[in-house]
């Protein structure tokens, strides 16, 4: 046998001791080919040289396995999302690098639970995109955080599908091929590795009990009850205070608590609030507030499991918000009725005793 074969056999046995001393040339070549897959660079070079010399002596050398071509990813896509405001709106931006330069920005306004509210496209530069984000934050207090574009894309698709009527101005599916031709993934809320939802019932209950701490988070500053939605409850509260049949304080308080409980459920519907809190929890987590994120996730999980569960966060919004609206209405009414000759029972009660209603006469 040639010197080339002897050298190749010695190399094969060094790399693979199971190669027999009297192995056939074809077996030696196969062993060298297998070793080439895992050998380091210098050894691979040595193997290639040995295989080449064997091929020159007429030995059938296995063909090198085809190297899979790297997938062509094309222009990159990124996504940015905001928290949810008091109306249930949040912004989702999908950005794609364009082949000719610059960026394509698809800006969507998603509402929970109504669906897609607005959809626009812009050709922007990287500097303009950064300036837009900064302006939203400084002027509107709206903070954007980066997100997985596949998840953000699926949320926009889902929001369009939730529209009650077809609107060509909000046809994201028609616009979507400008971003990607991949099928959308199953829609789900964004989750952050920086804050996990509590799995223990006791931990979840403790976080829900302290949920009013979220009142101080800037993303929730617009979650207070809107006057037009609270109007019917404000009327009921005024009727309790101005009822011709003046109620004792304890009964007034009980009636007011019952009104506020109904108002909390109506103004903060559980299903919508769970989704809004999950979305905002992602923003909390990605901006360095994991504790706030865990509270938001705990409340969301509780609402999904028990829609009628009392939540201190929404109770605080309702009590303080309606109390503020009622005080404002009372102030305006007092100005209108200043000097009136006919007083309401409530005004009489306050005039006689600010701390308690007048006693009934036998």
Model confidence pLDDT, tens digit, residues 7-64: 877 877 777 777 777 777 787 778 777 777 656 667 777 888 877 777 777 777 776 5
Evaluate whether 23 touches 59 at the Cβ level (below 8 Å): no
- What is the DSSP code string of 12-63? HHHH-TTS-TT--HHHHHHHHHHHTTTS-HHHHHHHHHHHHHHHHTT--PPP
pLDDT at 70: 40
User: What does pLDDT average to over the chain?
Assistant: 83
Better pLDDT: 73 or 273: 273
pLDDT at 32: 75
Model confidence pLDDT, tens digit, residues 144-197: 999 999 999 999 999 999 998 888 899 999 999 999 999 999 999 999 999 988
Evaluate whether 144 touches 80 at the Cβ level (below 8 Å): yes
Strands 77-82 and 89-97: antiparallel
Model confidence pLDDT, tens digit, residues 220-267: 999 999 989 988 988 888 888 776 566 677 777 888 889 999 999 999
CA distances from 222 to 66, 87, 89, 235 (A): 59, 8, 11, 23
The one-character DSSP state at 162 is T
Positive/negative CA dihedral, 301, 303, 307, 312: positive
Better pLDDT: 112 or 339: 112
Determine the Cα angle at 110 with ends 107 and 115, to 5°. Answer: 130
Model confidence pLDDT, tens digit, residues 296-330: 999 999 999 999 999 999 999 999 999 888 887 66
């Amino acid at each position: 046998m040639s010197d080339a074969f002897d050298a190749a056999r010695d190399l094969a046995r060094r790399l693979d001791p199971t190669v027999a001393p009297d192995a056939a040339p074809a077996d030696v070549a196969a062993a060298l080919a297998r070793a080439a897959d895992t050998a380091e660079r210098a050894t691979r070079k040595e193997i290639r040289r040995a295989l080449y010399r064997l091929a020159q002596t007429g030995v059938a050398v296995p063909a090198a396995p085809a190297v899979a071509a790297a997938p062509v990813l094309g222009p990159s896509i990124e996504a940015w999302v905001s928290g949810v405001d008091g109306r249930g709106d949040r912004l989702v931006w999908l950005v794609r690098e364009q082949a000719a330069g610059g960026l394509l920005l698809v800006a969507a306004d998603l509402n929970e639970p109504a669906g897609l509210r607005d959809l626009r496209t812009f050709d922007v530069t990287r500097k303009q995109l950064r300036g837009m984000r900064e302006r939203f934050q400084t002027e509107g207090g709206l903070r954007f955080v980066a997100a997985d574009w596949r998840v953000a894309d699926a949320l926009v698709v889902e929001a369009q599908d939730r529209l009650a009527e077809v609107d060509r101005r909000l046809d994201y599916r028609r616009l979507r091929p400008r971003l990607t031709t991949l099928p959308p993934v199953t829609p789900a809320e964004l989750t952050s590795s920086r804050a996990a939802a509590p799995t223990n019932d006791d931990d979840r209950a403790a976080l829900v009990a302290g949920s009013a701490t979220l009142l101080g988070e800037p993303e929730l500053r617009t979650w207070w009850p809107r006057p037009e939605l609270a109007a019917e409850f404000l009327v009921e509260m005024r009727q309790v205070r101005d009822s011709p049949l003046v109620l004792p304080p304890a009964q007034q308080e009980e009636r007011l608590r019952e009104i506020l409980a109904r108002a909390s459920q109506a103004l903060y519907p559980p299903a919508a609030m769970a989704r809004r809190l999950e979305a905002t929890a992602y923003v909390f987590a990605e901006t360095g507030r994991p504790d706030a994120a865990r509270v938001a996730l705990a409340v969301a999980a509780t609402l999904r499991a028990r829609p009628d569960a009392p939540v201190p966060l929404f109770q605080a919004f309702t009590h303080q918000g309606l109390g503020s609206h009622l005080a404002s209405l009372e102030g305006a009414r007092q100005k209108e009725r200043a000097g009136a000759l006919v007083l309401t029972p409530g005004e009489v009660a306050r005039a006689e005793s600010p701390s308690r209603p007048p006693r009934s006469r036998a």
